[in-house]
Structure 1
Amino acid sequence: MTTVPESRRPLAPEPALSVRQVLTLERVLAGEPEVVAGAAQLDRPVRWVHVAEAADVGVMLSGGEMVLTTGVLLAGDESRQAEYIQSLHRAEAAAVVLGLGRAFPAPPEVMRRAAERCGLPLVVLHRPFPFAELTEEVQSRLVRRKYAAISLSETVRTALTGLITAGAPLQRLLDEVARHSGCPVVVTNLAHRVLGTAGERSAVDDVLRDWERIARQAGGGAGDGWIPAELGGRGERWGRLLLCGYRGDAATGRLLADRAAEALVLHRMLGGARADSWEEQSAQSLLTDLVSGVVPARQLLPRARAAGLPVNRRTFVPLVVQGRGTERVDRVLRLLGLPGIAAELADGVAAVLLSLARDQDADALTTHFATRLRDGAPAVVAAAAARTAWEDVPAGLREARHVADAVAGLPAALDRPAVVRLKDVHLRGLIRLLRDDPQVQSFAERELDGLLCDAEPELLNVLRTYLATGRNKSRTARLHHVSRPALYRRLEAIQGRLGVDLDDFEQAASVHIALLAHDAQQG
């Protein structure tokens, strides 16, 4: 989600002319207009202006017309006057303008009452007025607006097509749609879970804060600037795009939404995206922002809720998984029925956030999840302590990432608990925190100098396993598939190059710390 600078933000197209706006035109004001009925409906859009004296003009209308008449065929017949208003109401006319004169020197009461009952604006002109001038004025304005809408639609289509051709990501397309529409843009799946947003940050946050209500109301179609467009192809619907609070007229908004939807469908088809790829991108964006801490957690809460993550009165378990892709993680989450989101933070590293009910055993469920996840192949599942406050989740994710980094240097063959926690990484965890300290770097290079200058890494690997197993020679030999005499020769070579006695606890500890620091620095 991005904030569009004011200087680059285009104005939304002007709304279609409403009855109220037509009545403020200079040429209309010269006729001294007076609204005598339907004043509450003056914001109806005017699609066209129609001059007609026929009593049955309603059958010739298609809706949205402002009808201009002198009423010469209605004078003296109150039943025809009432039926005239009712026929315009049935035809969904925008308003009727009656020029007072020989036929009606004053507003006809029958027509006024009928219009009030129907909610049809009835306007009378107290001064003679050339209807042709009003027709010309309104029609020209409507044509200009229609041309502007089509021009805007083509501009958006060209811009989005260019971005797709250049390989731009989904977020870039949504930013472009928001720039042209001048309002927040939201993309959801069929379950109304938010997959992407764009627009001014504060406006998007307002939308997401009340997302459940907005999603229900927007499902019924456009209204009050909430304009949806379906996403899908090849006979399958898989999402929806929504312009939130569009300030232009509804027709232009629908045109913009349709152009944007076409582009998103094309983007997905050309990119070969899987059905759940946008869900993954949404989760990745949320978890990345949580881990980074750049955006305060409280500002990310509406996004989490809109993405379908339960957040009220929950226990959150932050995890980092190494050696398993998000596809496998998602499959296990679904299999176990655990609410949560997962996303790839780096190559081979996934962040997971479980959201459990307060009465559930967080440690037992986390262990069960990790056991199923590791089934069949080695993987590291690092967990932070469970959190009950959403504001503590970012620190928890960073803790889990720290634990995963610390345990990554251990030989894969060594036994690990199903879930590794901060208490399990001991000295290794502290060294990871200090790895960028120049004095720690100098210490590691000084202690390991005799091995680091060797192009053959085998001795360093043997030393790493020997120290990680607590200087267990039998286990080290077994893990490296060598005989004990062969291992003894290699240990003697290591001690000779380093000038240390590994049977001395203090010297072995010093070498071990240096090796941990070296591995941490090397990532």
Structure 2
Amino acid sequence: MTSEQALTVETLLRSPALQLSVIAGESGLDRSVSWAHVSELADPTPWLLGAEMIMTTGLAIPRNGADQRAYLERLDDAGVSALALSEELHVPPLRREFLRAADSRGIPVLRVPLPVPFIAIAQEVAAALQPGVGQRLGAQLQVFGSLRWLTEENLDVAEIFARLERLSGYRLFVCSQQGRPLLPGVRTPDARLLGLLPASPAAPPTVPGGFVLPIQAPGGVAGYLFAQARHGAAPGGLAVVQHVATVASLQLTMRRHERETLRREGAETLAELLGGVLEPPVARRRLSRLGLPLRGMLTLAVLRGRAGDADDASLLRRLDEADLAHLVLRQQDELFVLVPAGLAAQRAFDAVADAFVGSSAPLRTGDSLEIPRREARWAVARARDAGKTHLTYGENDSAGRWLPEDVQALDALVERVLGKAIAYDEGHSADLLTTVRTWMERDRHAESTAAALGIHQNTLAYRLRRFGEITGRDLARTSEFSEVWMALLAQRSIGSPG
């Protein structure tokens, strides 16, 4: 049935056998009718699909004006095309608020003469809609046949959904449970539709103008499919939209499987890159196959959990949503991530929860990761000390840029300047090194340092003096103070104990 042949409220009004008349809401007579259904419930909307004519003897209609208006507004919000009231049975007096709501919203309220049974109206509607039954069944079969496209044709997700829109008669939108993109190339709902996101996957599927259905994935509901009837099209109904949701679920599952396979390969490649066992040409070929750009810059990041291991789920989800190729590898309490450098990666790192993130300076595809790893570790240590979620190498730390890149030289600096203090702390369960570092980072301010460490200022003075005695460095002398500070920076850079 085309939109020109669609059954409307006005069509039923013109039927001499039904003898219907308009009580209110005459401006909505052009509303289409998909079915006629009897309901005596105060709220039948959870069981409606939209465009129904609701017929009632009036048992569920409230008696006061405000409740009558609320009853009618619920039906209109659910997409009901008209309300038909049986004359001379249980309909209470219709209040002014009810009639005004019908006129302002344009939802027709009809009078059904007592001699006309509701079954006669239902039969009239069914007969008028009979030509559209075949069209709906055909749409269902065609959409169901889209499963063949997934195996026989090399279509991307956007093209699959473009075809589904043409077949189903709906504009299709997909989003996560939080309203974020879920499938690449598929539109996300606008603010109006996002306001209709159900509180539970078990909520009724009907929304104004169409349907919203959960998209299942391994582990539970991954998001929602919105189907909004297209102007001038013949929407295929709920069964068609359910088939579309199945296609969306399969696409999501396939993409997740592909992504997990690439992540496993990526973890192996990143381990070899961090181990320095891949030649640059081999590294570039591997990274290109895993989706990282041959041209352009990369960045290496390190995540350390605020309490225990870093939870990578939040970061990986944001990288997926940003459609950023990435390599991930966990090594003990650190999570390494290699991604294209840029604003998208920075935003993903900034939004990480329950972890500190440090990212290296940009590097070229195929470059050694020895220095970027050191830079990222330096940055994550600085992020932890500053209480920030994410820092980039060199940010808030201009002095560290001038340290040598030779790890052995840094090790030697740490051992020569701080070695005795490290050994003392380990042997006596002391905190001399932490105390000195905190004092220096707070610009030698005794009161704030003592507060940060939870100690008395006299204890702070004792620890600083004891550090000087053990290391032979007088922190009151500029040259020796500077040497200790650079050794502390070197220690953080290479991740040595202390």
TM-score, with normalisation over the residues of structure 2? 0.40
TM-score, normalised via structure 1 length: 0.39
